[in-house]
Structure 1
Amino acid sequence: MRMALLAAVLLAGPAAAQEVRFSPAATDACVAQAAAPEAKRGCLGLAAQQCMGATSGGSTTIGMMDCLDQERDYWDARLNAAYKVLRAKAKASDADLAEWGSSAPRTEPALKQMQRAWIAYRDTTCEFERAQWGGGSGGGPAVLSCLMRLTGEQALYLESAWLGE
């Protein structure tokens, strides 16, 4: 029994040491303090960098990928929230235009088309970044860094459109 307990503790040690310590607090604070959209873009990657420094093994390929992926998830959630708000606003605006008999271009279909084109752009751009590593171990962090950065930029863009900045 003692040996089984010792083995469990020893095996859990490396797993616990690799626990990712991601927090978006620094990024949230940075974005909140930034007045201009350009300054907000400077916040991209901040939480991932702090995660890499706070996580045992955060400077390893796997550690970097975990931290970058979690910040990508953070920006993806912000992007989806902003897109949902913009889409609702666009539908309401388009309904008003239709009610007035306006022939102005509709916003909601343009928003949807723009977002679909952006997804294709993001994916192909990040695959290009991965390809530059020639199959090396840096390709994983490179593609996740790209996905995080481009997703963050798009989230900030949609949020600024939502807020009318």
Structure 2
Amino acid sequence: MPKLRLLLCCLALLFLTAPAMAEEDELAPGFDRCMEQSGGVTTEMLGCLQQAYEYWDARLNTNYKKAR
């Protein structure tokens, strides 16, 4: 449950900053397509958000290891 809470907090921050992002920018590779294919179904949309989270988590971990 703590991971879900963290995910939801991160996603809330992303949605708050989304208007500042350029329209052509995508949250993560394939995110826009995934959301379009979700058909507005919440569980499907959460799956898309989980994929985006995993993408950025992996990038963060890779860059953190390089920085160390």
Please give the TM-score of this superposition, normalised by the length of structure 1.
0.27
CA contact (8 A) 1:126 1:143 kept: yes
Q: Partners in 2 of 1:162 and 1:145 — Cα distance?
A: 25
- Tell me what 2:28 maps to: 123
- Tell me what 1:140 maps to: 45
- Tell me what 2:55 maps to: 150
**Structure 2 residue 60 is matched with structure 1 residue 162:** no
Q: Partners in 1 of 2:64 and 2:44 — Cα distance?
A: 30
- How many Å apart are 1:121 and its aligned residue? 5.6
Q: Partners in 2 of 1:143 and 1:162 — Cα distance?
A: 29
Percent of paired sites with the same residue: 9
SS in 2 for 1:123: coil
- How many Å apart are 1:67 and its aligned residue? 5.3
Q: Partners in 2 of 1:149 and 1:158 — Cα distance?
A: 14
**Deviation readout 1:109-130 (Å, 9 max, x if unpaired):** xxxxxxxxxxx46435222222
Instruction: Report the structure number with the largest CA radius of gyration.
Output: 1
Gaps of 5+ in 1: 1-20, 23-46, 49-65, 74-119
Q: Partners in 1 of 2:67 and 2:6 — Cα distance?
A: 28
Q: Runs of 4+ in structure 1 displaced over 4 angstroms?
A: none
**Deviation readout 1:71-116 (Å, 9 max, x if unpaired):** xx3xxxxxxxxxxxxxxxxxxxxxxxxxxxxxxxxxxxxxxxxxxx
Q: How many equivalent pairs are there?
A: 54
Q: Partners in 2 of 1:154 and 1:126 — Cα distance?
A: 16
- Tell me what 1:69 maps to: 8
